[in-house]
Amino acid sequence: MTNMIQPQIPKLMKTNYDNWSIQMKVLLGSQDLWELVENGYTEPESPAAEVTLTATQKNELKEVRKRDKKALFLIFQGVDDSAFEKISNALSSKEAWKILQKSYQGAERAKKVRLQALRFEFENLKMKATESISDYFSRVQTITNQMKRNGEAINDVRIMEKILRTLDSKFKYIIPAIQESKDLSEVSIDELQGSLQAYEQDINICSNQAENLEQALQSKMTTKEDS
């Protein structure tokens, strides 16, 4: 008795149509079904026309219908509920495949265009002189989260390297210290933000003290001039 091994059916999701279609073509090909999905088959124009078929033609039609239903079942098994709703009324595997292709390839193209724009935005990110560390980190993470949702595989180290390269000039002394003392692969984004915020706070304190001293000196000079 031959043991039948059930093939593992890849699952279509919102972000993996290209890979899913490649895997499904291989799966359907292994079942000798891909050519049928790709090219379809011809149904008789009417029940009356089917009646006129020879016995051999009827058997061939019965067999191809059976194989097409098998292919359609495999496609049904490879999609989630949302995609199933799109193809639930398809009468053939070819029709179901074309519906998915049209639906997801359009979405994939739009996603790729959006991702290109986000990559450009990410590459041109730079901290503004008036921006706080907290606000800059939020701005960077907003863009990187959108990139991830559109299929970009961007890790935390790359994000932190980008941040350190694009900080305002007032952080120029802390950047080398961080790069020399910390292995970014062992540091979280939150930890990096905390270190930079502590340094930012020191800068602000020194700046306020210098401003207060300058105001005191100006006030003292004005008082002498008025005497």
Per-residue pLDDT of 5-31, as tens digits, reads 667 899 998 878 888 999 999 999 999
- Per-residue confidence band for 182, with pLDDT thresholds at 50, 70 and 90: confident
- Per the domain annotation, does 48 fall within a domain? no
Q: Which residues contact 28 (CB under 8 A, 6 or more apart)?
A: 34, 37, 71, 74
Judge whether 212 and 185 are in contact, CB under 8 Å.
no
68 shares its domain with 141: no
Mean pLDDT of 137-161: 93
Per-residue pLDDT of 88-102, as tens digits, reads 999 999 999 999 999
Average pLDDT, the chain: 88
Tally the domains of the chain: 2
Q: Which of 40-44, 87-91, 108-112, 167-171 has the lowest mean pLDDT?
A: 108-112
Amino acid at 20: W
69 shares its domain with 159: no
**Residue with the two structure tokens 């890849």:** 10
68 shares its domain with 146: no
- Per the domain annotation, does 189 fall within a domain? yes
21 shares its domain with 78: yes
Tokens of 200: 């930012």
Mean pLDDT of 56-65: 96
Range of the domain at 218: 126-226
- Per the domain annotation, does 131 fall within a domain? yes
Mean pLDDT of 137-148: 94
**Residue with the two structure tokens 């124009």:** 45
- Per the domain annotation, does 130 fall within a domain? yes
- Per the domain annotation, does 160 fall within a domain? yes
- Per the domain annotation, does 82 fall within a domain? yes
